[in-house]
Chains A and B, each alone.
Chain A
Amino acid sequence: MKKTVFWIGLIVLLFTLLSNVNAGGDQEKSGKAGAKEVVTLKFTYWGGPDEKTAVVDAIKGFENTYDWIKVDAQHIAGDYDTKMATMIAGGTEPDIAYLNLGQAFPWADANKLYNVYDLIANDPEMDKSDFLDSIWYNWAPGKSFGTNSAVESMAIFYNVDMFEEAGVPLPPAKAEDAWTWDEFVHVAQQLTIDQNGNNALSSGFNPDNIKQFGFQFSTWYAHYMTMVYSNGGDYISKDGSKFTLAEPAAVEAIQKLADLMNVYHVSPSAVQAKNIPGGAAGLQAKKVAMKQDGQWSLLALGNSGMNFGVGVLPKLKKSVTLVLGAPTVIFSSTKHPDEAWLLYKYLADAQNVLNLVAGGLWMPILKDWYTKPELVSKWAEGNPAHPEGYKDAIMRQTLEYGVAGVEYYVMNWGELDSLVNPALASVWLGKKTAKEALEEVEEKANTLVTGRYGF
Chain B
Amino acid sequence: MRNILAISGNKKHPSGSLARNRKQEVLIGVLFASPAILGFFIFIFIPMIASLIISFTDYALVNKMQFIGLDNYAGLFNGSDPFFYKSLGVTTYYVLLSTPLCLLFAFSMAVLLNNDSIRGKAVFRTIFYLPTLIPVVASSMIWLWLFNPDMGLINTILRALHLPTGMWIYDENTVIPSIVIMSLWTTGGTMIIFLAGLQGIPRQLYESVELDGGNAAHKMFYVTIPLMTPTIFFNLVMGLIYGFQVFAQAYIMTEGGPNNASLFYVFYLYRTAFKFSKMAKASALGWILFIVIALLTLVVFKTSKDWVHTEGGK
Query: Which A residues have a C-beta under 8 Å from some C-beta of B?
Result: 10, 13-14, 17-18, 22, 25, 81-82, 85, 88-89, 102-103, 106-107, 110, 112, 270-272, 274-275, 414-415, 418-419, 422-423, 425-426, 444, 447-448
Q: B309 at the A/B interface (Cβ < 8 Å)?
A: no
Known: A14-B53, A88-B61, A271-B170. A82 touches B259 (CB 8 A): no
Chain B residue nearest to A110 in the complex (CB): B62
For residue A10, which residues in chain B have a CB less than 8 angstroms away from its CB? 46, 49
Known: A88-B62, A422-B259, A425-B257. A274 touches B274 (CB 8 A): no
For residue B275, which residues in chain A have a CB less than 8 angstroms away from its CB? 81, 102, 414
For residue A17, which residues in chain B have a CB less than 8 angstroms away from its CB? 50
In the complex the two chains form, what is the Cα distance from A415 to B271 in whole Å? 10
Chain A residue nearest to B49 in the complex (CB): A14
Known: A14-B50, A271-B170. A85 touches B274 (CB 8 A): yes
For residue B63, which residues in chain A have a CB less than 8 angstroms away from its CB? 110
Q: B243 at the A/B interface (Cβ < 8 Å)?
A: no
Selected A-B contacts with CB under 8 Å, 17 pairs:
A17-B50, A85-B61, A89-B61, A102-B276, A107-B62, A110-B60, A270-B170, A271-B167, A274-B150, A274-B151, A275-B150, A414-B276, A418-B256, A425-B257, A425-B259, A426-B258, A448-B82
For residue B64, which residues in chain A have a CB less than 8 angstroms away from its CB? 22
B150 CB to closest chain A CB (Å) equals 5
In the complex the two chains form, what is the Cα distance from A444 to B86 in whole Å? 13
Chain A residue nearest to B167 in the complex (CB): A271
Interface residues on B, range: 20 to 34
Chain B residue nearest to A17 in the complex (CB): B50
The A interface is mostly helix, strand or loop, or mixed, namely: helix
Q: B83 at the A/B interface (Cβ < 8 Å)?
A: yes
In the complex the two chains form, what is the Cα distance from A419 to B82 in whole Å? 8
Chain B residue nearest to A112 in the complex (CB): B62
Name A14's contact: one of B46, B83, B148, B274 (CB within 8 Å). Answer: B46
For residue B50, which residues in chain A have a CB less than 8 angstroms away from its CB? 14, 17-18
The 7 closest A-B CB pairs, nearest first, are: A110-B62, A422-B259, A444-B82, A425-B258, A82-B274, A422-B260, A112-B62
Query: Which B residues have a C-beta under 8 Å from some C-beta of A?
Result: 46, 49-50, 53-54, 60-65, 80, 82-83, 148-151, 167, 170, 172, 256-260, 271, 273-277, 279
In the complex the two chains form, what is the Cα distance from A6 to B72 in whole Å? 29
In the complex the two chains form, what is the Cα distance from A418 to B62 in whole Å? 22
For residue A414, which residues in chain B have a CB less than 8 angstroms away from its CB? 275-276
In the complex the two chains form, what is the Cα distance from A379 to B207 in whole Å? 86
Contact B62 A106 (CB under 8 A): yes
Contact B274 A447 (CB under 8 A): no
In the complex the two chains form, what is the Cα distance from A112 to B277 in whole Å? 14
Name A85's contact: one of B82, B150, B260, B277 (CB within 8 Å). Answer: B277
In the complex the two chains form, what is the Cα distance from A398 to B23 in whole Å? 78
In the complex the two chains form, what is the Cα distance from A102 to B148 in whole Å? 31
For residue A271, which residues in chain B have a CB less than 8 angstroms away from its CB? 149-150, 167, 170
For residue B260, which residues in chain A have a CB less than 8 angstroms away from its CB? 418, 422
In the complex the two chains form, what is the Cα distance from A163 to B148 in whole Å? 31
In the complex the two chains form, what is the Cα distance from A89 to B277 in whole Å? 10
In the complex the two chains form, what is the Cα distance from A271 to B151 in whole Å? 10
Known: A14-B50, A88-B62, A275-B150. A422 touches B170 (CB 8 A): no
Contact B277 A272 (CB under 8 A): no
Given contacts A107-B62, A414-B275, 16 further A-B contacts (CB under 8 A): A10-B49, A18-B65, A82-B274, A89-B61, A106-B62, A110-B63, A112-B62, A271-B150, A271-B170, A419-B82, A419-B83, A426-B172, A426-B259, A444-B82, A447-B80, A447-B82
In the complex the two chains form, what is the Cα distance from A133 to B65 in whole Å? 36
In the complex the two chains form, what is the Cα distance from A271 to B258 in whole Å? 12
A438 CB to closest chain B CB (Å) equals 13
Chain B residue nearest to A426 in the complex (CB): B259
Known: A17-B50, A447-B80. A103 touches B167 (CB 8 A): no
